[in-house]
Structure 1
Amino acid sequence: MNRAIQFFLLFPSLLAGMAPKPELTRDFWNNPSFVRSFMGEYGFRSEIEPKISRSEQEVLRQVVAKAENQLLEAIAYLEAEIDSDNSAALDFALATMYYQASRLTSARKTYLQAIKKFPAFLRAHKNLGFVNLNLNDYENASLHLTKAISLGDADGVTYVALGFCQLSLERYLSAENAYRMGLLLLPESKDARNGLVNCFLFTERYPQALALLDEMLEKDAHDTFCHRARASVLQQMGQDKNAAVALETLKRMKKLKASDYMVLGDLYHNLSLFEKSFGIYEEALRQKEKLSLEQYIRVARILIGRGSYQEGFSYLDQIESIFGKGYSEEDEKKIRLLQAEVLRATGKDQSARKILEEIVRKHPLEGEALLILGQLAWKQKDYAEASLRFERAAKDSEHEVRALIEHARMMVSKNQYEKASSLLERAQSIDPQPRVAKYLKSINNLLASSRIRF
């Protein structure tokens, strides 16, 4: 059931917020209206459901009597009674017991058998929709739920389930229509309201989402979904301060998830409350619920990027302390690169070089490490080593353009304009940039002037 459709934060400058998951609550599955809707009775309505013979009625009576206390025995008894000539009603009863026994694949197969025998079997279509929903097969779930509605089903839980399927399939208008019908039939359904909020979020109708969330919070001030969704909406509306207040409310309720801490830290970062953001980022690390290592590395990169080198280095140390050696070589490389960046920015070039050389020893084609080593060699006026490092860095497609530009800049510092021009032309052929074009033009002018003088 846990299909996550959410906005994911990559950089604070692109802060998109995090929409709550469009998932059905436990209340939906345990709600008496769902249980009645799904289980119903083993009686059948002749106009939309198959007829049963007297002998089949007797079989069903036996099954119902056994199913109350001996479900598996009832299943075995009915399995022995069913053949291709039986009424679809028996297949339906068996499929429903399979569902009760959590044998979902068998339930799906048997509901399909019932529908094959009686195509207009409303409850079989409806229940098959719920089974497919449990199996995360949203496409087929929506098809059978829609068919049940077309056959006359007017149950609120059917519309709510259909809305969830359509939302999971990113069919937002269809999902909204289904959720609205669900609300008409089940006015107190949180699942319908939550689903409608998500429809507004994914279609960027933030004022409507905010209005509905405020209405829901008036009824239940402790609804964590509403507070989390409200923070996301306010964030999207550019109200970072109010979004932070919404998440702080969740924090006071002790309902903040690790991912929420990250969002809250980003909000404080955007508000230039750097000390507060660092404290929140540290709290995120201390949560029992752990996010992917990449998300914590992202935070360290934010801290370093804003010049908070001490905090950035401290955060990297905490990451290593908490995760120990439980991360991949690739993740370790990212941590070491950030450590080298901090050391270099704080004037500790030799320590940075030592880390970078170790990275290159393990990852000979790591472009970023080679690029920084080239810059450090240039700073020491070791032009031969710097050129070698830049050339190797340029073999990494991700850093090729930067390496070519840095190499060209070094050539300019040595008055080697022709070489610099050639390097910049290569860079422009890969990724044309206006500022580089301007720089290249000025170098070519210098090159032309030097030739005229000769």
Structure 2
Amino acid sequence: MKKIFLHYVILQTLTFAWSTPPSYELTQDFWNNPNFVRSFMGDYGFRSEIEPRYSKSEQGILREVIAKAENQLDEAIVYLEKKISPKSSAALDFALATMYYQKGRLTRSEQSYSSALLKFPSFLRAHKNLGFVKLGLGNYEEAASSLSKSISLGEGDGVTYVALGYCYYVLEQFVSAENAYRMGILLFPESKDARNGLVNCLLETSRFPEALALLNELLKKEPENVFCHRARASALQGLGKEKDATVALETLRRMGNLNNNDLIRLGDLYHNLNLYELSLTNYERAILNNEKLPIQKYVRVASILMQRGSYIDCFSYLDKIDSIFGKSYSPQNEKDVLLLKAEVLKATGKTEESSNILRDVVAKHPLEGRALIMLGHHAWEDHDHTLAEMFFERAAKIEDVEVKALIEHARMLVSIRSYEKAARLLEKAQEISPEARVGRYLESIRNLLLSARVRL
């Protein structure tokens, strides 16, 4: 907790209490840094063009607030609330907003800063502080607008630019974020948030060589910097240097700073390098750690294991997902896991068990196109072409899988020499989403039809 004193003919304490954020968010250091404190406080001068005037009686009110706020902040708030009216100075609203902020009442703080601006629209510090409050509330677009307005009125400190950069970053306006972060670095060179934000912008815009050069420079100064090692792995991966990226992440492991996201990334890298045992080892470490990621990340890992033909490992991983997350499955989670299990069972020859799972899925989720297509394949393999056609036709009515259903239906029809109908289905698929490989397949079927007509 950090106390600051705000002087605009008012002096009071201000508290910051922000939860520890993920690495891509503004760090706790940003809010507790003395530069932020000074930025929020402002200077002691008086600039009539950007600061509201106040009467002698209002000056007395503010002095009374100062005296109460030192040890009786709640009483100071109640006292000041009674003194504010539509005709009172914006300085009173500003002071009240700051005390609300100190108490963590961000919504009330936002309202009071807004009231101050209604009375005095060019109130620079009210715009800036309102931007910080909106940032704390997660209203990034409005925060960016308030912070930009304060800059246009003459604000020029690095903290404001760093906060503005972060707002743009969250809004995925990466070029604007980069510009703000660069200004932040010039004006607030010791800010890690500005530097980290700039690195993230370079990575988001695929400027991997520039990001790597900057990270290498930073690591010379801070060889133990965890963020830089992690970001360096991303830059190397973006450049296709996957072996070097694994080295960067293994460096984090030796430092004792490899988290679950890193373990999954390392598993992916080893998978891409065809080092499947190392890949599996890291995937399993990720799910067995106490720190848990969203279940979708683990389902994706199971899908990778399935796609590379590691069926036993995939089923084992799915069992781990079941044992850890089973009681907290959402309907979507449960469906995704069951569909993967059905795929593994089918791939390992357990067709009946796979079909039973798929029927259960369709009973609960009638519009689950992936399950319908898989059931169509089961029926096709059992030579029940009528049932297969029914499943494919049902799937084709679902937009997300319509094209895939049409193509699979056409493939089945080709297998029973129903070329003309198959061609019509493929033509429809090509109208919706043209694909070169499907176009070649359609052309070959048309050639078969032409040959058959010539023979007749």
Shorter chain as denominator, the TM-score bin is 0.7 to 0.9
Cα shift readout 1:343-394 (whole Å, capped 9, x = no counterpart) = 2222333333333343344444543333333333333334444444444444
Tell me, yes or no, if the aligned pair for 1:370 and 1:389 is still in contact at 8 Å: yes
Instruction: Tell me by how many angstroms 1:185 deviates.
Output: 2.5
Instruction: Tell me by how many angstroms 1:421 deviates.
Output: 4.0
Task: State the match for 2:278 in structure 1.
Answer: 276
Instruction: Tell me by how many angstroms 1:305 deviates.
Output: 0.6
Task: State the match for 1:182 in structure 2.
Answer: 184
The percentage of aligned residue pairs carrying the same residue is 62
CA distance in 1, matches of 2:411, 2:205: 47
Gaps of 5+ in 2: 1-17
Task: State the match for 2:240 in structure 1.
Answer: 238
Task: State the match for 1:10 in structure 2.
Answer: none
Tell me, yes or no, if the aligned pair for 1:22 and 1:168 is still in contact at 8 Å: no
Tell me, yes or no, if the aligned pair for 1:360 and 1:366 is still in contact at 8 Å: yes
Task: State the match for 2:306 in structure 1.
Answer: 304
Q: Number of aligned pairs?
A: 439
CA distance in 1, matches of 2:413, 2:117: 76
CA distance in 2, matches of 1:145, 1:429: 48
Instruction: Tell me by how many angstroms 1:337 deviates.
Output: 2.2
Tell me, yes or no, if the aligned pair for 1:3 and 1:22 is still in contact at 8 Å: no
**DSSP-derived class of the 2:327 partner:** coil
| Corresponding position: 1:335 with 2:337 | yes
Describe how 1:191-340 pairs up with structure 2 within 5 A: 191-340=193-342
Tell me, yes or no, if the aligned pair for 1:39 and 1:96 is still in contact at 8 Å: no
Return closer, same or farther for 1:76/1:240 CA change in 2, 3 Å cut-off.
same
Instruction: Tell me by how many angstroms 1:133 deviates.
Output: 2.0
CA distance in 2, matches of 1:150, 1:256: 43
Task: State the match for 1:9 in structure 2.
Answer: none
Instruction: Tell me by how many angstroms 1:44 deviates.
Output: 4.5
Gaps of 5+ in 1: 5-19
TM-score by length of 2: 0.85
Instruction: Tell me by how many angstroms 1:238 deviates.
Output: 1.3
Tell me, yes or no, if the aligned pair for 1:340 and 1:353 is still in contact at 8 Å: yes
| Corresponding position: 1:49 with 2:51 | yes
Residue type of the alignment partner of 2:208: Y
CA distance in 1, matches of 2:369, 2:310: 25
Match of residue 71, structure 2, among 64, 69, 72: 69
Return closer, same or farther for 1:371/1:79 CA change in 2, 3 Å cut-off.
closer
Residue type of the alignment partner of 1:271: L
Q: Report 1 or 2 for greater relative contact order, CA contacts < 8 Å, sequence distance ≥ 6.
A: 1
Cα shift readout 1:262-296 (whole Å, capped 9, x = no counterpart) = 22221111111111111111122123333332222
**DSSP-derived class of the 1:325 partner:** helix
Say what the alpha-carbon RMSD is for the aligned residues: 3.0
Task: State the match for 1:373 in structure 2.
Answer: 375
CA distance in 1, matches of 2:64, 2:366: 73
Instruction: Tell me by how many angstroms 1:429 deviates.
Output: 4.3
Instruction: Tell me by how many angstroms 1:67 deviates.
Output: 1.0
CA distance in 2, matches of 1:395, 1:132: 45
CA distance in 1, matches of 2:190, 2:45: 29
Return closer, same or farther for 1:176/1:311 CA change in 2, 3 Å cut-off.
same
Describe how 1:19-30 pairs up with structure 2 within 5 A: 22-30=24-32
CA distance in 2, matches of 1:83, 1:197: 47
Instruction: Tell me by how many angstroms 1:315 deviates.
Output: 1.0
CA distance in 2, matches of 1:357, 1:144: 54
CA distance in 1, matches of 2:71, 2:165: 35
